[in-house]
Amino acid sequence: MLELRNMSPTSKNTKKKTKVFVGLSGGVDSSVAAALLQKEEFDVTGVFIKVWQPPFLPCTWREERRDAMRVAAHLDIPFYTFDFEKEYKKEVVDYMIGEYKEGRVPNPDVMCNKNIKFGAFLDKARAMGADLIAMGHYARIKRMGEGSGEKKEARKHLLLKGVDENKDQSYFLWTLTEKQLAQTLFPIGGYKKSEVREMAEKFGLPTAQKKDSQGLCFIGKVEMKDFLKHYIDEKPGDAIDTKGTVIGRHEGAWFYTIGQRHGFMIAKKSAHELPYYVIGKDIRANTITVADQQIEEGFAKREVILKDVNWNYATPQKGKNYQARTRYRQVLQACEMLPLGNETQVVFAVPQNVAPGQSLVLYDDDQCLGGGIIA
């Protein structure tokens, strides 16, 4: 169990067990995370994080909380519910809606991790006596060094990709600081999803057969455009090709993301009858530009500027070859970093279709170095 190898279930100064608050979402991943920690003899407490949900969608949090409670009862561990509804509405939902209104493409899951799971939850857990928190994320933390006291700063906490490439969630964790990593465990990060399912069966967990949740963080299974329509008015506009010719219509430029291939009407088929992708948008003119290939000359970019940058251990070296992705599960793209005063520039080996507001996350092989928001 790679994630727990360098962690002791007991304190060095006392024989008291290390107290861990586990975020129990009601799903199989967090359930197995709690079971693994208990197996390793940590002092485990389960916590369901209650967040805001849209009033126009079926309310599912009670069912999720009930499943989380069943897991806690099965493991015979204490259970709490932390209500972060106001924090989630402000820091995740309002932020997301505001960004879309401005024509940017935010990532609400990144903000949920930053402000809720590793913000409000971590702070409250620590205030209640927890030594660490744990989550059912497919990511790993490599702990290096055994410094203590004045030598404590010698410790390193590196964020690594999850072993399961198809489930790796390090992309959503780029905002984590070394301080947060030092107080966090990802017990299932060293396993594949199939192994997690098998362990859930062996532990006899009530969530063993539960399907994975889908949709936008805690908001639920809903199309982004359908969600946004409750907060942003529709405004039909033109869909144009790369020459500026009108070939279709859309419902409002702010509803669309770069790379999207549905949700707009095209009256003219492409030369080879291939699907059209959104490759650009103009909020002022309320137009979207579409093409029958995702990377179009003149629209893709080799160089992007990052803002709100966070490097969770060390600043990347100028000129060194790295890899980056600008959306979840995108194939890693070769790039290098070029610091520009107070800004950071990323130069891709191959031009990329990107949009302001997206998270660009940087990797050095398995290590997730951090990232920033595309300006």
- Position 152, amino acid: K
**pLDDT, tens digit, for every residue of 130-177?**
999 999 999 999 988 755 444 555 568 999 999 999 999 999 999 999
Cα within 13 Å of Cα(247), Cβ side: 19
Cα within 13 Å of Cα(193), Cβ side: 12
CA–CA dist 158, 142 (Å, integer):
5
Residue 12 has phi, psi (to 5 degrees) of -70, -30
Question: For position 340, what pLDDT does the model report?
Answer: 75
Residue 211 belongs to what H/E stretch? none
Question: For position 4, what pLDDT does the model report?
Answer: 63
Q: Give the per-residue SS3 of 53-95.
A: CCCCCCCCHHHHHHHHHHHHHHHCCCEEEEECHHHHHHHHHHH
Residues of the chain with pLDDT under 50: 2, 5-6, 12-14, 148-150
Residue 290 has phi, psi (to 5 degrees) of -125, 155
Length of the chain: 375
Q: Are 361 and 325 in contact (CB under 8 A)?
A: yes
CA–CA dist 64, 42 (Å, integer):
24
Question: For position 221, what pLDDT does the model report?
Answer: 67
**pLDDT, tens digit, for every residue of 194-227?**
999 999 999 999 999 999 876 565 566 678 888 9
Question: For position 270, what pLDDT does the model report?
Answer: 74
Q: What is the set of domains in the chain, with CATH numbers?
A: 2-202 (3.40.50.620), 233-291 (2.30.30.280), 301-374 (2.40.30.10)
Tell me whether residue 59 is one of the annotated catalytic residues: no
CA–CA dist 311, 316 (Å, integer):
8
Question: For position 256, what pLDDT does the model report?
Answer: 94
Active-site residue identified among 59, 112, 335, 368: 112
CA–CA dist 225, 294 (Å, integer):
20
Question: For position 334, what pLDDT does the model report?
Answer: 98
Secondary structure E strands in the chain: 19-23, 43-50, 79-83, 132-134, 139-144, 156-161, 184-185, 237-240, 246-250, 265-266, 277-282, 287-291, 301-311, 321-325, 333-340, 343-352, 359-364, 367-374
Instruction: Say what the pTM is.
Output: 0.91
Question: For position 3, what pLDDT does the model report?
Answer: 57
Tell me whether residue 368 is one of the annotated catalytic residues: no
